[in-house]
A and B are shown apart, each in its own frame.
Chain A
Amino acid sequence: MLFSSYQFFAFLSTTIVVLALAGRLSQRFFLLTMIVCSLVFYGWLRADYTLILIGSAGVNFAIATRLEQSRSKTLFGCGIAFNLLLLGVFKYADFAVANGNILFGVDWALPHIVLPLALSFITFEQISFLSDIRSKKVARGDFLRYFAFITFFPKLIAGPIIRYRELLPQLGRAGVNSAEQVFTGLCVFCFALFKKVMIADRLAPVVDQTVSNLQSGGMASQADAISALLAYSLQIFFDFSAYSEMAIGIAWMFGIQLPVNFNSPYKASSLIDFWRRWHITLSSFLRDYVYFPLGGSRDGLLRTSINLLIVMLVGGIWHGAAWTFVAWGFVHGVALVAAHGLHGIEFVQRSTDGWLGRTLVWALSMSIVLFAWILFRSPDFSTAQRWFLSIIINNDVHIHTVAIPQRWFILSVLLWVLCFPNIPRLFCIEADRENVDWNSPDGIPPVKLWVAAVAAIALVMSIVVMAREETNAFIYFQF
């Protein structure tokens, strides 16, 4: 079920009423009802996938029960292996077989296993759960709470990736606590919905047409190739940040605060800063559960660089079973290593103190981010190569895939991204999860009057556009 569908509106309205009633009976009944609602949401299209969800949560909880007692390294390893194996089978089987076929010159049939929605996100949440249980950062609690954490529908499909220790304290107080809280969540949702249906979905055809042309062997004009690249950079940001912010809004309706996932990443002052602002919950997961266990930056420059590269490669392959994603991660890894290296040089630090230096660093960082998106969006390397060449070589191409009004639209959206405040700032939501006291988070303060008025307009416009019933699925659903 898409957040940007009438179906979901009906589901959400019903869920609010049902959970408000359930909350009056008892907290356990509230959590149980929330789990049922979440399973309905998840199983809407493929009910059988809920079994994978239940099974996976059951196994992880059982392992956690043992881990809490023994802290066994082997058991922890088994838990990690179980989660990675599950993800590997569903997400990487085709990729592994296809590459095996090439490597060994055999012809095994591709299994064509369909990836259940949310598995990539749940895998990371369960790994962080096992790790936190083992290191005693959080108590295991009962299965009801754990399962409510795993299935909580606002963040279930595509994050933000929240940790058990951040959600568990909130589950005790969760509920449809006040009309104002629901209203505030609704206003956040309206803004995010607008971002998805009015911007991300309108940018999608620009990108799709150009990429389709490049994929079929054609070249694009320089203007079209650049426009499509900008359009995709904006599309993926608006699409994914909209999903995360819708999740934040919906969760707040039930009294639960989710961490902010995007904090104006294209305003980042450097590539290092970009990764503190883009898909924050993934970056911090990779930092805490991959980078730090590898040694982080404690063992010298070379070791730090290798660790960074490994983390970015993991991030790349997590996004999809294709070498283009690995290459995307590699490019970011190399660029981050270079950025960290340069950051340590005093001369470079002094040169980037002034506005000119800062602007140059921003421009260079964003160029790397943008060009890396080529790898991320292209279905194969030859398409990526043609896209890249189309940008740097002025081709004499007669077929144009991006119309003039579309270019104006891209430019307007770009200016919006660079000049206007983001949703967390608009709603005064703490963007840095380290500053949030997850035992008693401040949540989202009541909205201002003008923000409520604009939210109403955003909702009406989004509803009208949704009537076309051409809404695209969220990009991150595929990951």
Chain B
Amino acid sequence: MRLSISSFRLKLLVFVAVLIASAAFLEVYCRFSNRFRDPSFSYLQRIAEVDASKAVLGDSHVGDTSYIPHYAFLGQPGQQPGELLLLVRSLYMHRRPERVIVEASPQWFGEYHAGRRPLLTLTSLAPPKSLFGVRLLALSGPYSGALFDNLWADLRSVVAAILTAAAHANVPRPVPEALKRIKREWEESASNSTWSQFPLEKRQVLTTGRVYEQNPIDRFEMSEPLHAFENAITFLIANGAEVCLFRTPVSTDYLRIASQITDSRYAAFDTYIAGFAASKELKFIDFRSLSFSFDDSKFINADHLTSTAADAMWPLVANACFQS
């Protein structure tokens, strides 16, 4: 009888130990596996973990590198207003926003979003379930969805590596921090890294293409993305945020071409955003009003700043938004 009781305790102990060990293994795998180094995963992880009481929200013009001390920068290439709405709801459902700068640029409503699959969805933004206050990535929608496929793929790679007996070295994916640092070093050191160094005629072709892509869609004022954008702002205000709208910079050529293309709706956007900001009594900062020279040497392409320029500009934006 005594033996049976101790045997049960041993089984229970083994069960619990294996349970904890395998859960820990899967969580560690989610956090450190190269297969989860994909930018979309790190973005979702940042959203889940970042303190966004002070934040800058937008798309790739905002990016994920913080250029204002104590501000979380949350922006992904191609992010859409519907995603912005889900993002603010997810960030501030249980947390009070303080100061939030929201990108207010025409490309929110650009035609290039048509058919694009959103990264931020209700499932992907559902906060990971917590255990004793620790948020477990393995129990969040996107990680859970990809976990066993990735694990299986890694297992296959390991088997393949053993079978080929190191016949050739596998090139591992570089870690994001290293990528960011080297990219920055290259931008700072290389003489041909800025937009101004790119041949003018090529610049103009690329800029024109970009301007057409980002031209707000026809009747954008009545569109679903616009409602999502306005709802996101309204949600922030209702939750007590001090909101500032900011039109992110583009090159001089971009601005010129934007007024010349067929069916340009950039001017209509300017009118709309100024009216919307006034109706909500929000401060709206247009990049052109900043005391900063936006010549082509500050850009890496027609509508994205270099890291150095972004470093210099964003504190000015914060000042313009909240200091006066």
Contacts and interface: CB of A to CB of B under 8 A. Distances in A.
B8 A180 contact: yes
A421 B298 CA distance: 67
Nearest to B152: A405
Contacts of A446: 4, 7-8, 11
A467 B141 contact: yes
A455 B15 contact: yes
A198 B152 CA distance: 13
Contacts of B19: 456, 459-460
A447 B11 CA distance: 8
Given A467-B144, A468-B145, A456 B10 contact: no
Contacts of A455: 15
Interface in B1-46: 4, 7-8, 10-12, 14-19, 22-23, 26
B129 interface: yes
Contact of A460 (B12, B14, B23): B23
Contact of A183 (B12, B23, B26): B12
A467 B129 contact: yes
Interface string B120-145: 00010010010000000011110111
A323 to B, nearest CB: 38
B15 A452 contact: yes
A461 B8 contact: no
Contacts of B18: 452-453, 456-457
Contact of B22 (A187, A456, A465): A456
Contacts of A453: 14-15, 18
A419 interface: no
A396 interface: no
Contacts of A465: 144, 148
A198 B26 CA distance: 15
A467 B139 contact: yes
A466 B123 CA distance: 12
B101 interface: no
A468 B8 contact: no
Interface in A174-200: 179-180, 183, 187, 198
Nearest to A202: B148
Contact of B147 (A180, A183, A452, A464): A464
Contacts of B129: 467
A449 B123 CA distance: 37
B148 A468 contact: no
A469 B141 contact: yes
A464 B138 contact: yes
A463 interface: yes
Contacts of B12: 179, 183, 452
Contacts of A463: 23, 139
A463 B16 CA distance: 15
B155 to A, nearest CB: 13
Given A453-B18, A456-B16, A460-B19, A468 B141 contact: yes
Interface string A296-321: 00000000000000000000000000
Given A183-B11, A457-B18, A463-B139, A468 B23 contact: no
A452 B16 CA distance: 9
A468 B140 CA distance: 7
A459 B26 CA distance: 13
Nearest to B19: A456
Contact of A457 (B11, B22, B138): B22
Interface residues of A, number: 23
Q: Which of A449, A456, A459, A465 has the most CB of B within 10 A?
A: A456
A455 B15 CA distance: 8
A467 B16 CA distance: 20
Contacts of A466: 144
B15 A464 contact: no
A149 to B, nearest CB: 30
Given A460-B23, A461-B148, A468-B144, A452 B11 contact: yes
Contacts of A464: 26, 138-139, 144, 147-148
Nearest to B18: A456
Contact of A468 (B10, B14, B123): B123
Contacts of A179: 8, 12
Contacts of B126: 469
A460 B25 CA distance: 10
A469 B122 CA distance: 11
Contacts of A198: 148
A447 B8 CA distance: 9
A146 B128 CA distance: 44
Interface string A414-457: 00000000000000000000000000000000110100110111
B22 to A, nearest CB: 4
Given A457-B22, A460-B22, A464-B144, A452 B14 contact: yes
A455 to B, nearest CB: 7
Contacts of B144: 464-468
Interface in A46-60: none
A467 B10 CA distance: 30
Contacts of B23: 460, 463
Contacts of A460: 19, 22-23, 26
Nearest to B129: A467
Contacts of B22: 456-457, 460-461
Q: Which of A455, A461, A466, A467 has the most CB of B within 10 A?
A: A467
Interface in A135-149: none
Nearest to A178: B8
A42 B117 CA distance: 38
A58 B11 CA distance: 44
B138 A467 contact: yes
A464 B137 CA distance: 10
Nearest to B12: A183
Contacts of B16: 456
Nearest to A6: B129
Contacts of A456: 14-19, 22
Nearest to A198: B148
Contact of A469 (B4, B7, B11, B123): B123
A462 B15 CA distance: 15
A453 B21 CA distance: 11
A446 B11 CA distance: 10
Contacts of A468: 123, 141, 144-145
A469 B140 CA distance: 10
A449 B10 contact: yes
Interface of A: 179-180, 183, 187, 198, 446-447, 449, 452-453, 455-457, 459-461, 463-469
Given A456-B17, A464-B148, A465-B144, 10 more contacts: A183-B12, A187-B15, A446-B4, A449-B10, A452-B15, A460-B23, A463-B139, A467-B129, A468-B123, A468-B145
Interface of B: 4, 7-8, 10-12, 14-19, 22-23, 26, 123, 126, 129, 138-141, 143-145, 147-148
Per CB-CB distance, the 6 closest pairs between chain A and chain B, nearest first, are A456-B18, A467-B144, A456-B19, A467-B139, A460-B22, A452-B11
22 contacts: A179-B12, A180-B8, A183-B11, A183-B15, A446-B11, A449-B11, A453-B18, A455-B15, A456-B17, A456-B19, A460-B19, A460-B23, A463-B139, A464-B26, A464-B138, A464-B147, A465-B148, A467-B138, A467-B139, A467-B141, A468-B141, A468-B145
